[in-house]
Amino acid sequence: MKSLKIFFGNEDRVGIQDFVLLDAHNSETAFLDNLKKRFTEDLIYTYIGTLLISVNPYKELDIYTKKQMDLYMGVNFFELPPHIYALADNVYHTMLSEANNHFILISGESGAGKTEASKKILQYYAVSCPSSTLLDTVRDRMLMSNPVLEAFGNAKTMKNDNSSRFGKYMDIQFDYAVGGHILSYLLEKSRVVHQNHGERNFHIFYQLVEGGEEDLLRHLGLEKDTKHYSYLVQGECSNVSSINDKNDWKTVKNALSVIDFDASDIEHLFGIIASVLHMGNVHFDGDTKGYAILNSNAALRWVSKVLSPFTVDHAIYARDALAKAIYGRAFTWLVNRINESLENKDSERKTVIGLLDIYGFEVFFVNSFEQFCINYCNEKLQQLFIQLTLKSEQEEYEAEGIGWEPVQFFNNKIICDLVEEKHRGIISVLDEECMRPGDATDLTFLEKLEEKMGNHPHFVTHKLADKKTRKSLERGDFRLLHYAGEVTYCVVGFIDKNNDLLYKNIKDVMRLSKNPIIQECFPATEGDSRRRPETVATQFKNSLLRLMEILTVKEAWYVRCLKSNDNKQSGKFDEVLVRHQVKYLGLMEHLRVRRAGFAYRRRYEVFLQRYKALCPATWPHWRGVPAEGVEKLVQHLGYQPDEYKMGRTKIFIRYARTLFATEDAFEICKHELGKQQRIQKRREFRKQKEGYTTRCEAKSTDNSEYLAFVRQSYLNRLKDNLPKTVLDKTTWLTPPPVMTEILRQLNTRMMVRKYVRGITPQKKAQLQQKVVTSAIFKGKKDSYPSSIAVPFVDTRINEQDINTRVLQTIHHERIKYSVPVVKYDRNGFKPRPRQLILSQAAVYLVEEAKIKQRVDYVSLKGASVSNLGDSVMILHVALNDPKQKGDLVLQCDHLFEALTKLAMIANKQNNIKVVQGSIKFEIQACKEGGVDFSTGQEPMIYKGKNGHLMVVSDYFRISA
């Protein structure tokens, strides 16, 4: 296949820049060939639509300069070669234009480059976003949080010298101010006390010992040699050529200062790190009864007291459990302190871009509890990826009126259920074993799994396997068939790691510490409850479910990172390894979804602007509807009916070859147009002298060229002397006779457009709401004019002011708006204060902890208000169910705001009526009531003699 001269720019012509345009899009071999071809030329980025594939080159590339950033700022996504800056820029500008929230999911194996991709995106936003002293301070802190979190949360593993041993989700907040918030997931605390051969503990331990100043080390009682510390030498690779611990120490110390940690915080934090190292050097002997004993060192007496009368094994367990707990809780404290420094104190609503840099799928020689949790996390993310990809693609086809062709893909829900299902999943079985009385062990846990999972197609153990498979399984193993392939887990340690319990007397001693961070990490209130704390696996499962909730309400973007080889060798492309990653990351499925019928789709305006020169009817300008211009263009090019479809706003082209032929024709056309322009310029030069002598005469063949020159000269002078504002009517340059007033009009329109483009997302959202309000109430309700200047707010009731029980009941529907109201009983019209809550799915009327009425939007027929200045509204409910309560009669001080929100959330703009005189409402099926409206000296609401609710308003009531 010929190299693609991509449809927006052609600087990068190696292979196919967007896999959607790959003719053999069902061929995994063609997919890999294209990746390899580009990788060989150091082109590590390739698209699948808006998904970005990144192949780790294991070497520095000169593609992340400030010049590169400038190049990609504000440019159409496909106009330049694929790059992580292009994706970051497109996410940012889409967020600004649509005023909604987005997230970027960065995924891939350990060592594939996820952390680096996250850094590049953060760095791009730091440079490209608006600048001020405040914004720069917060951005510096956000950037500096990276080396700190890497120091405390990353470590060398067999596959990656800087492997993230925790999951990180960061919300980057934009708008008037900037800020951020970090959520962390499942720090691998077991690494503190044990490392496999060829691996290290967390970076910070080595940085402190190797880079710490002499005075600091003396103060902490440390020596400048890692070999003295048991917790640092188990992997036998304290020194790594690719890691400079001394330099990294300086970076971390500087970063802590930038993030606003004071000297006291830093001293106490490193004191904790030192205490963990000292703890690892505590060794135990056994006395005559087998109990653990220590020497008489006074500093260790408290340890003896806490650990007595333990056996040596119990004492070692308690020591390591304490070391893990101290480090884990200190890490949580560190994340919370970073969040405080990044907090955006602006109370206004902020749009965010979430950045998810989370552990990649892991398969080691021995896989334990941590790998089980990490790979479960990847199953959940894969499930979300397929759901959101299919959903967004199907929604685009439906929105454009294009037929959708179902795509076959592997639904990994069966694996997620195997792990997380209540009462039946692996986590539930593990928790039961951890909590049951008696001697639960890792092997009894495995036996319970075999009882419950015996027939599951994705689960096998030594006992359950056939003869051939049994040879590859130890008796203490179980194997899961993940979407990414088989992984064998050793159950040794599962029970202890899942319990992660500290002895109560150890906690009591920790609360006596003079270190304020330790005091925060071990609060006095902890442990007072008789309820057993959640296990690690359940905590992780619940935090993952919360993460899924966070992500599903945002627009998704993806960066898929691939390892080019397992040896971190530059220039080497291991096809077997890459093929495996392509398979388990679901890239072929994603490509099939994107190619579900059509290889290419573009908005009519963009397509026409690109290719209009190919058709006489559209060149040089098309004055009509863009869709009609595109239809003329493709008919002129000879597109066959099966090659394309016309959507509502876009053209869809089925075959990549059709687009290639169009692009080839455009390249030829550009060459011809360039030649014609050069000939035309020579003609213009020859005619200039002739034109000057007849410049004052009517336009003719003799002076037309010169008059064009006059116009051009005037325009060149005008561009540097344009009025600065729309209201400036005095500084316009006097035009020559051949120029007309139309230029002034064009300039005014341009300045108006510039003003409109400068409107902030918040202001835009406010105006959009006010437009809806105007469409419903303008010229119809007396109090509408006085409401115009009153801004709408996001909500009138904060979530902390809504009862917890109510929040738990409706949280899954996502609350969009809440406001206090007075509800009038349908019979006696007794006024009762209530909360009106609008979720994504329904209207709720709430009294403290009780939901009094729920009306889903399908059952909401509409709303009615009077034409006067009162603030009463009636919500009409379809009585499809005999149990359904009748219409709601409400008084709301923010009537225009509440009904506008309702109209937009429930799509009921055409169902809100302004009525004169009286409004009837349904008390229940076949029984009506009424509300009568009138004006008077003062507003009042009461029950009339006719049994109706009487609403009296004056002309001066303001209802926002």
Could you tell me the CATH number of the domain that includes residue 927? Answer: 2.30.29.30
Give yes or no: residues 699 and 611 share one domain: no
Rounded mean pLDDT of 697-704? 57
CB-count exposure of residue 64 (10 Å: 0-12, 13-18, 19+): middle
Q: pLDDT-based confidence at 956, cuts 50/70/90?
A: very low
Least confident of 17-21, 269-273, 436-440: 436-440
Please return the burial class of 288, using the count of CB atoms within 10 Å of its CB with bins 0-12, 13-18 and 19+: exposed
Is pLDDT at 389 greater than 50 in this prediction? yes
- 113 in a known ligand binding site: yes
Q: Considering 188, 199, 210, 362, which one is annotated as catalytic?
A: 362
Residue 27 burial (CB count, 10 A): 13
- Return phi, psi of residue 844, to 5°: -120, 135
CATH of the domain at 646: 3.30.70.1590
The strand order across the sheet containing 102-108 reads 45-48, 51-56, 555-563, 102-108, 352-357, 167-173, 179-185
Given this model, what pLDDT does residue 4 score? 38
Note if the bond before 641 is cis, omega within 30 degrees. Answer: no
Do the domain assignments include residue 918?
A: yes
Give the tens place of pLDDT for each residue, 44-83.
999 998 899 999 999 999 999 999 999 998 887 777 899 9
Distance CA(299)–CA(303), nearest Å, equals 8
User: Is 108 within any annotated ligand binding site?
Assistant: yes
**Pair type for strands 872-877 and 860-866:** antiparallel
When comparing pLDDT for 548 and 500, which is higher?
548
User: What does the buried/exposed string (b/e) look like for 115-130 if buried means 16 or more CB atoms within 10 Å of the residue's CB?
Assistant: bbbbbbbbbbbbebee
The per-residue pLDDT for 948 is 92
CA angle (945, 951, 954) in 5-degree steps: 135
Mean pLDDT estimate for the chain = 84
Q: What is the mean pLDDT of residues 667-674?
A: 77
Phi/psi for 583 (5° steps) reads -70, -50
Q: Residue 8: pLDDT band by 50, 70, 90 thresholds?
A: very low
pLDDT at 216 over 60: yes
Are both 708 and 845 inside the same structural domain?
Answer: no
Residue 583 domain flag? no
pLDDT computed for residue 662 by the predictor: 87
The Cα–Cα gap between 309 and 921 comes to 77
Q: Classify 83 as helix, strand or coil.
A: coil
| Position 475 confidence tier, pLDDT thresholds 50, 70, 90 | very high
Whether 295 sits among the annotated catalytic residues: the reply is: no
The 10s digit of each residue's pLDDT in 683-696 is 665 655 555 445 45
The answer on 896 and 802 residing in a single domain is yes
Mean pLDDT along residues 875-890: 84
Q: Where are the alpha helices (DSSP H) in 259-368?
A: 263-280, 301-307, 312-342
Judging by DSSP bridges, how do beta strands 555-563 and 102-108 pair with one another? Answer: parallel
Of the candidates 157, 164, 389, 773, the residue annotated as catalytic is 164
726 plus 849 within the same structural domain: no
Rounded to an integer, what distance in angstroms lies between the CA atom of residue 857 and that of residue 866? 22
Whose tokens are 């009519």? That residue is: 604
Query: What does the alpha-carbon distance between residue 95 and residue 85 come to, in Å, rounded to a whole number?
Result: 15
- Give a yes or no: residue 570 inside a domain: no
Which tens digit of pLDDT belongs to each residue from 158-170?
Answer: 888 888 888 888 8
Q: Which residue has the tokens 């949360």?
A: 153
Which pLDDT does position 295 carry in this prediction?
60
Q: What local confidence, expressed as pLDDT, does residue 309 receive?
A: 62
Residue 112: exposure state from Cβ atoms within 10 A (0-12, 13-18, ≥19): buried
- C-alpha 460/C-alpha 469 separation (Å) is 9
15 is in an annotated binding site: no
Span of 90-99, 691-700, 763-772 with lowest mean pLDDT: 691-700
> Which of 15, 167, 328, 360 is labelled catalytic?
360
pLDDT at 345: 67
pLDDT of residue 732: 75
pLDDT exceeds cutoff 80 at 374: yes
Which of 28-42, 705-719, 835-849 is predicted least confidently? 705-719
| Least confident range of 327-341, 434-448, 561-575, 590-604 | 590-604
Asked, for residue 617, whether it belongs to a domain, the answer is yes
Q: Is residue 198 assigned to a domain?
A: no
The type of residue at 923 is: I
Give the pLDDT confidence score for residue 737 in this predicted structure: 67
Q: List, in sequence order, every beta strand (DSSP E) within 779-894.
A: 815-824, 831-839, 842-847, 850-856, 860-866, 872-877, 888-891
| pLDDT over 70 (residue 29) | yes
Residue 299 pLDDT exceeds 80: no
Find the catalytic residue in 110, 154, 378, 499.
110
Report the SS3 class of residue 341: helix
Q: For residue 291, is pLDDT > 50?
A: yes
Determine the pLDDT at residue 349: 58
Instruction: Please state which of the ranges 129-138, 427-436, 539-548 shows the lowest mean pLDDT.
Output: 129-138
* pLDDT band (50, 70, 90) for residue 7: very low
842: which DSSP letter? E
Q: Are 795 and 941 found together in one domain?
A: yes
CATH code for the domain in which residue 460 is found = 1.20.58.530
The answer to whether residue 115 is catalytic is: yes
Q: Which of 4-18, 61-75, 401-415, 684-698 has the lowest mean pLDDT?
A: 684-698
Query: Residues 892-916: pLDDT tens digits?
Result: 999 999 999 999 999 899 999 999 9
Whether residue 18 is predicted with pLDDT greater than 50 in this model: the reply is: yes
Cα 78 to Cα 208, 242, 398, 646: the distances in Å are 46, 36, 23, 21
110 in catalytic set: yes
Cα gap 62→10, rounded to integer Å:
19
* One domain, residues 725 and 642: no
166 burial (CB, 10 Å; 0-12 / 13-18 / 19+) is: buried
Which among 56, 128, 160, 367 is annotated as catalytic? Answer: 160
Q: Other CB atoms closer than 10 Å to residue 271's CB: what's the count?
A: 19
Residue 673: its pLDDT value, please?
73
Q: Which of 119-123, 198-202, 706-710, 801-805 has the highest mean pLDDT?
A: 198-202
What pLDDT is attached to residue 958? 40
In a domain? residue 875: yes
Q: Please pick, among 50, 54, 115, 226, the residue that the annotation labels catalytic.
A: 115
Q: Which pLDDT does position 9 carry in this prediction?
A: 39
Q: Is 362 a catalytic residue?
A: yes
Residue type, 24: A
Is residue 110 annotated as involved in ligand binding?
Answer: yes
In order of 183, 353, 816, 899, 904, the CA distances from 100 in angstroms are 20, 9, 13, 21, 15
915 and 827 assigned to the same domain: yes
Note whether 450 and 532 are same-domain residues.
yes
Q: Which is the catalytic residue, given 54, 107, 146, 163?
A: 163
Nearest to 852 by CA among 886, 819, 881: 886
What is the per-residue pLDDT for 302?
Answer: 46
Mean pLDDT, residues 206-234 taken together: 93
Check residue 30 and give left, alpha or beta (phi > 0: left; psi -120 to 50: alpha): alpha
Residue 383 lies in a domain: yes
- Claim to verify: residue 494 and residue 377 sit in the same structural domain: yes
* Structural domain ending residue among the three candidates 511, 546, 581: 546
Q: What is the mean pLDDT of residues 387-406?
A: 78
Give 960's pLDDT tier (boundaries 50, 70, 90): very low
* 661 and 624 inside one domain: yes
The residue-averaged pLDDT of 346-369 equals 81
| Angle value at C-alpha 294, between 289 and 298, nearest 5 degrees | 140
Domain count, the chain: 4
Element (H, E) at 546: helix 536-552
Q: Which helix (H) or strand (E) holds 105?
A: strand 102-108
Is 32 part of a structural domain of the chain? no
Q: Quote the Cα angle for 405-409-413, to 5°.
A: 125
Q: How far is CA 657 from CA 3, 23, 652, 664, 668, in A?
A: 11, 7, 13, 10, 17
930 in a known ligand binding site:
no
Tell me whether residue 112 is annotated as binding. Answer: yes
Catalytic residue, from 15, 49, 111, 179: name it: 111
Boundaries of domain holding 441: 371-546
pLDDT at residue 59, as a whole number:
92
Catalytic, 160? Answer yes
Can you give 671-736 as a three-state secondary structure string?
Answer: HHHHHHHHHHHHHHHHHHHHHHHCCCCCCCCCCHHHHHHHHHHHHHHHHCCCCCCCCCCCCCCCCC
Least confident of 315-324, 489-498, 766-775, 796-805: 315-324
pLDDT, tens digit, for every residue of 731-761? 777 777 666 666 777 777 777 777 777 778 7
pLDDT at 13: 63
Separation between Cα atoms, residue 92 and residue 578, nearest integer Å: 30
Check whether 111 is labelled as a binding-site residue.
yes
pLDDT tens-digit map of 807-821: 888 878 889 999 999
Q: Distance between CA 274 and CA 219 in Å, rounded? A: 10
Same domain, 899 and 802: yes
| 486 among annotated binding-site residues | no
Check whether residue 715 and residue 833 sit in a common domain. no
Between 202 and 502, the more confident residue is 202
Say whether 836 sits in a helix, a strand or coil: strand
Confidence of residue 784 (pLDDT cuts 50, 70, 90): very high
> Between residues 428 and 348, which one has the greater pLDDT?
428
pLDDT level of residue 180 (50, 70, 90 thresholds): confident
